[in-house]
Structure 1
Amino acid sequence: MQQPQQTVLRALRDIVLVGGGHTHVGVLKRFAMKPEPGVRLTVICRDTHTPYSGMLPGYVAGHYSYDDVHIDLRRLAEYAGARFFRDEAIGIDHEAQTVLCRSRPPVPYDWMSINIGSTPSVNSVSGAGEHAVPVKPIHQFNDRWQSLLERLTHPHTGQHPGQTRIAVVGGGAGGVELLLAMQYRLSNELSALARDPSELRFSLFTRGAQILPTHNSRVRAHFQATLKQRGVEVYTATDVVGVEAGRLQAANGSWHAADEIVWVTNAGGAAWLRDTRLALDDDGFIQVGDTLQSLSDPRIFAAGDIASQVDHPREKAGVFAVRQGRPLADNLRAAVTGRALSPYRPQAKWLALISTGDRHAVASRGGLFLAGDWVWRWKDGIDRRFMSKFNDLPPMEEGAMRAPRASRVALNEEESAQAISAIAMRCGGCGAKVGASVLSRALSTLQPVERDEVLVGLHAPDDAAVVRVPPGKDVVHTVDFFRAFIDDPYVFGKVAANHALGDIFAMGAEAQTATAVATVPQGLEAKVEDTVYQMMRGAVEVLNEAGCALVGGHTGEGSELALGFAVNGLIDAGGASDSPTGKAILTKGGLRPGQVLILTKPIGTGTLFAAHARLGARGRWIDAALESMCQSNRQGASCLREHGATACTDLTGFGLLGHLVEMTRPSGVDAELDLTALPLLEGAEETVAAGILSSLQPANVRLRRAIHDQAAWVDHPRYPLLFDPQTAGGLLASVPAERAEACLAALHALGYARAAIIGRVLEPGDALEPIHLTDGIKESAHRR
């Protein structure tokens, strides 16, 4: 019996979470456990992997790996059914209710929450912004820390490795704990290299009369003794007023040498908040009431370090951010459903577990003092259990869908009518088109590039576009269309346009015009309008960069977001080119024996996004894949032609093997691929090894009969990636062997950092199978 089709409830209200701090990860988890029908969550965060501050010292000390101490925010958002926009908020338009972002269109919100942490106030001290490293944002500190580790453990030839002086400015728990962690790690690294740890000198500076001023006297005494025992010079009542390269200045005029200066002082709010209408305290933190709503804009919430709860002032500590997760989630849910919000009162005392670099820690709460290795094990257990809640997520079953529930979202009369219409039986044919007013508003601010050949286009809409073909030119046509594989319509628009342009560039043509075809899920007009705008904004940016004019299109309703383009390109009409073939057009059939095969981008998008849908991919793997997919093939195609390429194609759904077979057949040649030389996207080998493959993979695998001695390669870890379908993949081209290295160097200079020579073109053999595989590592070992 056929099952009735489930109606998917579209977004009725948008909650936008700005930042990926401890509170927001708690909100995501709570909405994952209990979704609110009709509510769409969107996370805007610069960092895909958000650090847990409680484990940062342990990471610095070497007790934890990077993944141990970071929450994979993209993966958690996918688990919660939330959209993840990798960007940075830089402002708020209160009237339009949009978040302004650094590198994408504004993001609309109905309700918003800010949890972006704080930043040490380096700019308040002369030279500190230039010569000191603030501990936040943590990703920048980590980059500098990794650089320091590399420099000290692998000094350049001729450099004296000793006399490295490291200063930490800030005598609170954060500064003391970080200094001890750095000292422990660096001392161990030097000892492992048979070097003297005394090459390192550490100093701590604090303007206060004592270190750890918010903790009891026994805690302070324990850390004073620890610092003394480990040879750390402690400067209390020393206000740092200036920083220069290699030294810092105290208020009394004295100078102190320091090769590395880490800033862990009192922090403030992000500078961009000052240009909003949000009420801020003297340090730039957002003032909120008991419900965690802004005092000046009740549609905006704030939590964690960036928030200042005016009636309950507390120290900036991670414990409060974690505890705010539940009340913030409950109040966001109440706000969007029109129910009363509940007040939240933070605890007056809290437990602090502070490590001493080694596997030893101190417990501090009011007058409580406990110390020992067992305290570190206690802390370690607490921290790991906390992280497991957000990183140990059950894998998603393919096609899994929760049973629909009725929406509790509060709507006005007009929105209610739209919502009923959105889930009612929809018309087909032209009745399924997106409304003209919605479409015109969405496209009104887009500015497609103008070309003289476009006689009738979006600037003067008509039944069809009219485009002139310049004299001496031939027209190249192509079309591509696919459904969204990522929850960010702006990025999806970029990838879709880039993918469609790939065929034009691969043939050596310039892009001229494009016509779009899109399907958009039905819903409230405002939500549909923004989706169309975001998607087409991304697409038009890519088209404009390629000099391709968007001249028209069609947008209709569908169950899933999808986008495609029919693209026209121009190429010289049979004119000469730099290609040895003497033809302007680069086709698949121009392979010549003795040439080498160059691939301009890494492969692996199919398996990675299949894994992403099942929560089996790390967020940074998806970031890198999207970055590759958004990279245009335009310059790469020109570079290949300049270096004598005679055949070229772009990698798409048929995968590397499928496209190479398409090239060998018309060329009448064989080809050899070196599996070791294949450039792979980070994580692709891991996801393939886990058995996670694209749904198109089985169809592509049928081409395995084109591989000579295929059975000998089935168990090679890279074998499955030969069949992996690509989206917006790189160019595969043949180049004369004597020009290959120069071509590769030029591609790298243009930004195709992973471009590689992956094989060579062979004379046709006696065997029916045209593709020969090799493993460069094994071949090299065999020759030795």
Structure 2
Amino acid sequence: MKSPTLPYSKDLVLVGGGHTHALVLRKWAMQPLPGARLTVINPAPTAPYSGMLPGFLAGHYSREELDIDLVRLARLAGARLILGKATGIDIQRKCIKVSGRPDIAFDTASVDIGITSDLPDLKGFTDFAIPAKPLGPFAQAWQNYLSKSGPAAVALIGGGVAGVEITLALAHALKSHGRAAKIHLIERKSVLEGLRSASKTKLLARLSDFSVHLHEHSHVQEITGSGITLQNKEFVPAEFICGAAGARAQDWLTQTGLDLHEGFIAISPTLQSSHPEIFATGDCAHMTATPRPKAGVYAVRQAPVLYENLRRQLAGRGDLVLYSPQTDYLKLISLGGKAALGERFGMVFQGPSIWKLKNHIDQSFMAKFRDLPVAKPEKLPSPRALGAAEVLGDKPMCGGCGSKIGQSALARSLQTLPATTRQDVTPLPGDDAALIQTGGVKQVMTTDHLRALVEDPVTMTRIAANHALGDIWAMGALPQAATATLILPRLSELLAERTLREIMQTAHACMAEAGAAIVGGHSSFGAETTIGFGITGLCNTPPITLSGAQPGHHLILTKPVGSGVIMAADMQGLAKGAWVSNAMAHMQISQAKASQILCQASAMTDVTGFGLVGHLMNICQNSNCGATLWLDKVPLLDGALVLSEQGIKSTLFPQNREILPKAPHSARADLMFDPQTAGGLLAAIPVNAEETLERLRAEGYEAAIIGEMTDQIGHISISEST
């Protein structure tokens, strides 16, 4: 007999996506603690592996090879991934503060947020230089500079091991690109101070090989667009200025009330802070009993201890494991090209073989996150009813609009209903709303709900709210009032309260921004999270319906398509985290301003579960027109075409494809039938389409003119180009 799935009763929150937390996530995916809900907070969908940074800068690795994909990792672990930057911890209320969203409560938490830099405090640094961390902006800035031609002038601030590694990597890359370079390394103390003399001698020799100019015991006074002025008035000309010094703890830690050491969280051998429910690890922590330098090797080796102690803490056990760091470790330092220097126990090694060793260690570490296991489907019972396996399919059911019932089945079921006899209610054919007239007031009313496609309740609420509001905006109405319908998986009373608080605070904010008020709702426990809204809107002008389009009217779409295929791939662990987070960001974009700009539309709808073609067909059928879609003009979300080319489809795709069986078969054409969640507005514009498009783009919408209405009633043609 299958063991029951336990409801969540404890909240574990990992603050930061550092190396230790990434490893804990992977171990959690293999063996989670039943009853514990895991949440991860990180500013970005990926976390860079710093050990491969010099190799990337030198040109040995691609940018993607450096990234740990936290979206895929969290999906595998069943964790809520919250993309945002933590700004504080309230140890009294036991919650994490994240900008732009409700506080996140925890029972047990762990902090792995790395370090930051004080270089931006230097005069001119923010305007004319860039820190080596965070990696993303630095990597992009370096690639942009490297792609230029002509002599190069580079300066790096910080002469520690990291600064020297980066300097050598930049020098090698410039040489490989055939660019003559003048490179300066500025250090306020001695370059490589504290490193053993044998290693220091070899690294200084390597710097000399690249003709790097050393400025030791030099303090930066000001940075300008043409270079760096030192306090001794020496001027260092430079076009590309990088900072790899001044590492310090993040400022907000000082406001937590936790015991700190020079700004870093003081931890015991169990990796606990002064608050026993808050752990810390990696560079943001200081091991009080066994102090060690900031090095990735300690973060990696803390992972199994942290994983075990988090499980024991959540289970109420007191026998936590102790972490004992080694006294020495193998230091591997890149030398620019495919060579490296190694040091341990006072012995120094150098050459291509050491780089191969470093590369092997780095690649082995990253392989833990690239080669993630794919969850196997449960074995089906036998015997079983005929056709049950075919209904289930061979992949997980999509969330969002990908889980809707097909358009044909829905239409057939609605045809069985008798027409309304109420004089004050006017159904709008093909629309998801009705027009209600009370006195002199015209209202539209709609309802919509979504099966969760992301574990974060705040993100899901924003998506569901924008999705439901789309029906109101598509008719040119102003949102008025809303009720919420919520289904949560079974949780403890405390966790249910926490989740409802996050959802309702977010729903209130979304509806208030749209001009509507939350006036009530209903909640219950069920199999999985479902969030929906019933909404009314006021019409100060006649509502925009599906029936006013005429031949020659141009079609404008306000958002790219492709969310269905991206989320389907995400469910299977096949989508890049950056694609998923970008798609979710688009789903949260309000269409309020777009609706106002499109107020002169002759027909309008929002593009959701039936795909672009399905919703365009609704306009065609209700307007007695046809349409031509210009395939190459339809904007696509990042990654959608790649995934479509791989044959990935949403579960609703086959039903949507039946709407236009003679449509061309190609990866791009298939995306015209991809179900969208909180998609864009599709409007037929009678005049001034280009002017309307310019106004939409000025408001930040990725809008496009994608076709025109024709006189071929009920027929949609898809052409490759205009």
- TM-score normalised per structure 1: 0.82
1:694/1:182 CA distance change after superposition, 3 Å: same
3-state SS of 1:704 partner? coil
3-state SS of 1:227 partner? helix
Q: 2: CA distance between counterparts of 1:356 and 1:471? A: 80
Which residue does the alignment assign to 1:633? 591
1:316-360: per-residue Cα shift (whole Å, max 9, x none)?
A: 111111111111111111211122111111111111211122111
Q: 2: CA distance between counterparts of 1:126 and 1:730? A: 44
3-state SS of 1:480 partner? strand
Contact 2:5 2:34 in 1 (8 A): no
Counterpart pick for 1:748 among 676, 697, 702: 697
1:329/1:471 CA distance change after superposition, 3 Å: same
Please list, as runs of the form range in 1=range in 2, the aligned pairs for 1:305-320 lying within 5 A after superposition. 305-320=283-298
Which residue does the alignment assign to 1:771? 716
1:130/1:550 CA distance change after superposition, 3 Å: same
Shift of 1:366: 3.2
Contact 1:672 1:772 in 2 (8 A): yes
Which residue does the alignment assign to 2:677? 727
Q: 1: CA distance between counterparts of 2:41 and 2:378? A: 26
Q: 2: CA distance between counterparts of 1:678 and 1:391? A: 32
Q: 2: CA distance between counterparts of 1:503 and 1:125? A: 51
Please list, as runs of the form range in 1=range in 2, the aligned pairs for 1:78-157 lying within 5 A after superposition. 78-123=75-120, 125-150=122-147, 152-153=148-149
Which residue does the alignment assign to 1:335? 313
3-state SS of 2:688 partner? helix
Structure 1 range deviating more: 110-119 or 376-385: 376-385
Contact 1:494 1:541 in 2 (8 A): no
Shift of 1:297: 1.1
Structure 1 range deviating more: 252-261 or 165-174: 252-261
Which residue does the alignment assign to 1:759? 707
Which residue does the alignment assign to 2:504? 536
Which residue does the alignment assign to 1:598? 556
Query: Is 1:285 aligned to 2:274, yes or no?
Result: no
Shift of 1:532: 1.0
Shift of 1:228: 1.1
Please list, as runs of the form range in 1=range in 2, the aligned pairs for 1:267-416 lying within 5 A after superposition. 267-282=247-262, 284-294=263-273, 296-339=274-317, 340-397=319-376
Which residue does the alignment assign to 2:575? 617
Q: 1: CA distance between counterparts of 2:481 and 2:332? A: 62
Query: Is 1:516 aligned to 2:484, yes or no?
Result: yes
Query: Is 1:208 aligned to 2:164, yes or no?
Result: no
Q: 2: CA distance between counterparts of 1:271 and 1:142? A: 24
Please list, as runs of the form range in 1=range in 2, the aligned pairs for 1:672-711 lying within 5 A after superposition. 672-705=628-661, 707=662, 710=663
Unaligned runs of 5+ in 1: 154-160, 192-196, 402-467, 576-583, 780-784
Q: 2: CA distance between counterparts of 1:399 and 1:275? A: 48
Shift of 1:531: 1.0
Shift of 1:256: 2.6
Contact 2:8 2:490 in 1 (8 A): no
Contact 1:9 1:37 in 2 (8 A): yes
Query: Is 1:496 aligned to 2:464, yes or no?
Result: yes
Shift of 1:650: 0.2
Which residue does the alignment assign to 2:427? none
Which residue does the alignment assign to 2:242? 262
Please list, as runs of the form range in 1=range in 2, the aligned pairs for 1:522-601 lying within 5 A after superposition. 522-572=490-540, 575=541, 584-601=542-559
Shift of 1:11: 1.3
Contact 2:552 2:710 in 1 (8 A): yes
1:213-249: per-residue Cα shift (whole Å, max 9, x none)?
A: 3433232222211111211101223343544443334
Contact 1:492 1:538 in 2 (8 A): no
Structure 1 range deviating more: 500-509 or 233-242: 233-242
Root-mean-square deviation over aligned CA pairs: 2.0
Contact 1:493 1:537 in 2 (8 A): no
Contact 2:461 2:531 in 1 (8 A): yes
1:435-480: per-residue Cα shift (whole Å, max 9, x none)?
A: xxxxxxxxxxxxxxxxxxxxxxxxxxxxxxxxx9886431111111
Which residue does the alignment assign to 1:238? 218
Structure 1 range deviating more: 164-173 or 82-91: 164-173
Contact 1:89 1:102 in 2 (8 A): yes
Q: What amino acid sits opposite 2:159 in the alignment?
A: G
Query: Is 1:25 aligned to 2:22, yes or no?
Result: yes
Contact 2:184 2:236 in 1 (8 A): no
Counterpart pick for 2:153 among 161, 165, 190: 165
Shift of 1:394: 2.3
3-state SS of 2:97 partner? strand
Q: What amino acid sits opposite 2:184 in the alignment?
A: S
Q: 2: CA distance between counterparts of 1:302 and 1:364? A: 28
1:365/1:266 CA distance change after superposition, 3 Å: farther
Shift of 1:398: 5.4
Q: 1: CA distance between counterparts of 2:197 and 2:655? A: 70
Q: What amino acid sits opposite 1:535 in the alignment?
A: I
1:400/1:132 CA distance change after superposition, 3 Å: farther
Contact 2:602 2:684 in 1 (8 A): yes
- Size of the aligned set, in residue pairs, is 666
Unaligned runs of 5+ in 2: 381-435
Contact 2:119 2:246 in 1 (8 A): no
Q: 2: CA distance between counterparts of 1:727 and 1:96? A: 35
Which residue does the alignment assign to 1:439? none
3-state SS of 2:555 partner? strand
3-state SS of 2:245 partner? coil
1:165/1:300 CA distance change after superposition, 3 Å: same
1:291-311: per-residue Cα shift (whole Å, max 9, x none)?
A: 1111x2111111111011012
Q: 2: CA distance between counterparts of 1:271 and 1:248? A: 27
Query: Is 1:668 aligned to 2:636, yes or no?
Result: no
1:397/1:263 CA distance change after superposition, 3 Å: same
Shift of 1:774: 0.8
Q: What amino acid sits opposite 2:163 in the alignment?
A: G
1:547/1:50 CA distance change after superposition, 3 Å: same
Q: What amino acid sits opposite 1:490 in the alignment?
A: V
Q: 1: CA distance between counterparts of 2:573 and 2:303? A: 23
Which residue does the alignment assign to 1:58? 55
Which residue does the alignment assign to 1:175? 163
Which residue does the alignment assign to 1:430? none
Which residue does the alignment assign to 1:654? 610
Shift of 1:287: 0.9
Shift of 1:364: 1.7
1:721-753: per-residue Cα shift (whole Å, max 9, x none)?
A: 1221111000111113x512111111111110x
3-state SS of 1:63 partner? coil
- TM-score normalised per structure 2: 0.89
Which residue does the alignment assign to 1:72? 69
Q: 2: CA distance between counterparts of 1:470 and 1:148? A: 64
Which residue does the alignment assign to 2:452? 484
Shift of 1:489: 0.3
Q: 1: CA distance between counterparts of 2:521 and 2:610? A: 27
Contact 2:478 2:538 in 1 (8 A): yes
Q: 2: CA distance between counterparts of 1:357 and 1:50? A: 23
3-state SS of 2:260 partner? coil
Q: 1: CA distance between counterparts of 2:587 and 2:635? A: 14
Q: What amino acid sits opposite 1:516 in the alignment?
A: A
